[in-house]
């Protein structure tokens, strides 16, 4: 299995034998992948014959590390599983932990959780729509969408204090309140974003070069999606109305009306539509929640230990169903925390979809599932036991590289 150096040799060998499949490495470092993962693509001409994934390049042993930290500290660590769905991760973790206890979570906190989660969904979907433009070679869409993404990031910054890692969810509550003075600003901005979503739908529907790239690419059938356990927008684009927010309401989703957006074709074009429509439904949900938010406290004071037991929970992260399982032995640190992220669930589907398509479709299809390899590998910026301090000078790195790739030269 795949060291990059090895695959390069294989690739050049493939060049000599024209008749066999040509191996093209897709990653670990590739302009279309914003995080390092490795896919071996076997090509015949331009057509993909087989794909072999090799993930784990950013695996940092998060689940092991969780077993050495206290419950509250873990909130921040799991939040850093991913930059884009950071609140979803901390929310799912917090929800799983709360499941072990009998605390009455304040209503207002549940509403704030919903609002921030939906802001994050808008952000994630905008980010994805822009990146799709980039991957399909339509940089203008990318720039425009990301320009509008700044608006929602500024909102998140105003609500939570930072743009990416909100650090807002905590066990039995949230840490910051949304003051009334901020409400009108949020409503105004989310309305604007919904308008922009309509505008982008207009471009996506009419621009024929973009249609050529997205229509009938990566056709996913409903049965295949269900068989391969696809989740989130991917399965909704294939016509299965499955959404944790509606099926198994958490936070304040039980009280807020929400449409489940579905499309029937299952191709990238439908995915784009599903995501752009969900921006609109999210904006509506935020408006509704802000209007109906009850007054009251936002968090409870709790002891550091959590009662023994096992609990599993799931939420609808922007990318799909995010699943958390926690086991407590009644102490201040967890016995086991397990996270199953939407990307890992969607990866088999993406690999299946790729077969038969051409090299040009790889970035579009592979990234259509909105992969977050950091999530998939459970990446952490927090080190295994936080005293990991080592640095390499450029010279050392070079030496290491030479030793790694050319062992004979070193001897």
Q: Which residues ranging from 293 to 332 are in contact with other proteins (CB under 8 A)?
A: 310, 312-314, 321, 323, 325, 327
**What's the chain's length in residues?**
411
Angle at CA of residue 173, ends 161 and 372, nearest 5°: 60
Among 83, 165, 187, 192, binds other proteins (CB under 8 A): 165
- Asked if 248 touches other proteins (CB under 8 A), the answer is yes
Among 266, 349, 350, 353, binds other proteins (CB under 8 A): 349
What's the CA gap between 107 and 174, in Å, rounded?
11
Q: Tokens in use for 399?
A: 């030496």
Minimum gap (Å) between residue 196 Cβ and other proteins? 11
Tell me how far CA of residue 196 lies from CA of 18, 84, 139, 272, in angstroms. Answer: 48, 20, 17, 14
Residue 5: partners with Cβ closer than 8 Å, 6 or more residues away:
404, 405
What's the CA gap between 82 and 302, in Å, rounded?
27
- Asked if 49 touches other proteins (CB under 8 A), the answer is no
Nearer to other proteins by Cβ, of 284 and 354: the residue is: 354
- Asked if 134 touches other proteins (CB under 8 A), the answer is yes
- The string of DSSP codes covering 49-65 is EEEEEE--TT---HHHH
- Asked if 408 touches other proteins (CB under 8 A), the answer is no
Q: Identify residues 174-193 at the interface with other proteins (CB under 8 A).
A: 175-176
Q: Identify residues 24-43 at the interface with other proteins (CB under 8 A).
A: 24-25, 30-32, 43
**Buried/exposed 34-48: b ≥16 CB within 10 Å, e otherwise:** ebbbbbbbbbeeeeb
Q: Name the one residue in this structure whose structure tokens are 């509008």.
A: 148
Minimum gap (Å) between residue 191 Cβ and other proteins? 19
- 376 in Cβ contact with 57 (< 8 Å): no
Secondary structure of residue 164 in the 3-state scheme: coil
Among 50, 76, 187, 192, binds other proteins (CB under 8 A): 76
- Asked if 60 touches other proteins (CB under 8 A), the answer is no
Query: Phi/psi class of residue 179: alpha, beta or left (left: φ > 0; alpha: ψ in -120 to 50)?
Result: beta
- Asked if 159 touches other proteins (CB under 8 A), the answer is yes
- Asked if 213 touches other proteins (CB under 8 A), the answer is yes
Among 211, 308, 397, 402, binds other proteins (CB under 8 A): 211
- 342 in Cβ contact with 322 (< 8 Å): yes
Nearer to other proteins by Cβ, of 188 and 310: the residue is: 310
Among 283, 361, 368, 370, binds other proteins (CB under 8 A): 361
Minimum gap (Å) between residue 321 Cβ and other proteins? 8
- Asked if 402 touches other proteins (CB under 8 A), the answer is no
Angle at CA of residue 15, ends 12 and 17, nearest 5°: 120
CA-nearest of 299, 263, 302, 141 to 206 is: 141
Minimum gap (Å) between residue 101 Cβ and other proteins? 18
Q: Identify residues 78-117 at the interface with other proteins (CB under 8 A).
A: 79-80
Q: What's the DSSP call for residue 2?
A: -
- Asked if 50 touches other proteins (CB under 8 A), the answer is no
Among 39, 128, 135, 269, binds other proteins (CB under 8 A): 135
Q: Identify residues 362-391 at the interface with other proteins (CB under 8 A).
A: 362-363, 377, 381-382, 384-391
Q: Identify residues 249-288 at the interface with other proteins (CB under 8 A).
A: none
- Asked if 77 touches other proteins (CB under 8 A), the answer is yes
What's the CA gap between 115 and 287, in Å, rounded?
9
Minimum gap (Å) between residue 95 Cβ and other proteins? 12
Q: Identify residues 216-245 at the interface with other proteins (CB under 8 A).
A: 227-230
Q: Name the one residue in this structure whose structure tokens are 């299809």.
A: 365
Nearer to other proteins by Cβ, of 141 and 280: the residue is: 141
Distance of CA 128 to the CA centre of its chain: 10
Number of residues near other proteins (by CB under 8 A): 112
Among 212, 308, 397, 402, binds other proteins (CB under 8 A): 212
- 269 in Cβ contact with 214 (< 8 Å): yes
């Amino acid at each position: 299995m795949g060291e990059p150096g090895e695959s390069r040799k294989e690739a050049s060998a493939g060049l000599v034998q024209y008749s066999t499949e040509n191996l093209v490495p897709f990653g670990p470092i590739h302009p279309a992948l914003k995080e390092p993962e490795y896919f071996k693509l076997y090509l015949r001409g331009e057509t993909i014959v087989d794909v072999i994934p090799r993930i784990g390049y950013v695996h940092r042993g998060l689940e092991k590390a969780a077993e050495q930290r206290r419950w509250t500290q873990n909130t921040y660590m799991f939040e850093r599983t991913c930059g884009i769905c950071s609140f979803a991760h901390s929310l799912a973790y917090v929800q799983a932990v709360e499941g072990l206890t009998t605390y009455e979570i304040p209503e207002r906190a549940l509403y704030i959780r919903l609002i921030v989660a939906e802001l994050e969904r808008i952000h994630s979907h905008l980010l994805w729509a822009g990146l799709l433009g980039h991957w399909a070679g339509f940089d203008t869409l990318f720039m425009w969408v990301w320009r509008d993404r700044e608006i929602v990031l500024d909102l998140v910054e105003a609500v939570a204090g930072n743009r990416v890692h909100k650090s807002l969810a905590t066990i039995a509550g949230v840490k910051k309140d949304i003051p009334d003075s901020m409400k009108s600003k949020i409503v105004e901005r989310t309305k604007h974003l919904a308008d922009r979503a309509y505008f982008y739908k207009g471009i996506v529907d009419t621009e024929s070069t973009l249609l050529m790239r997205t229509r009938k690419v990566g056709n996913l059938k409903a049965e295949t999606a269900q068989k391969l356990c696809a989740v989130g927008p991917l399965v909704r684009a294939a016509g299965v109305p499955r959404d944790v927010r509606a099926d198994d309401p958490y936070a304040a989703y039980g009280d807020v009306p929400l449409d489940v957006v579905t499309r029937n074709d299952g191709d990238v074009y439908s995915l784009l539509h599903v995501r752009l429509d969900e921006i609109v439904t999210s904006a509506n949900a935020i408006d509704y929640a802000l209007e109906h938010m009850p007054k009251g406290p936002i968090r409870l004071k709790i002891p550091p230990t959590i009662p023994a037991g096992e609990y599993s929970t799931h939420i609808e992260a922007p990318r799909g169903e995010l699943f958390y399982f926690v086991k407590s032995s009644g102490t201040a640190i967890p016995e086991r925390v397990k996270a199953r992220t939407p990307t890992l669930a969607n990866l088999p589907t993406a690999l299946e979809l790729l077969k038969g398509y051409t090299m040009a479709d790889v970035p579009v299809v592979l990234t259509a599932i909105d992969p977050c390899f950091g999530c998939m590998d459970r990446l952490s910026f927090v080190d295994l036991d936080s005293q990991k301090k080592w640095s390499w000078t450029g010279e050392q790195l070079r030496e290491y590289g030479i030793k790694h790739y050319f062992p004979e030269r070193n001897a």
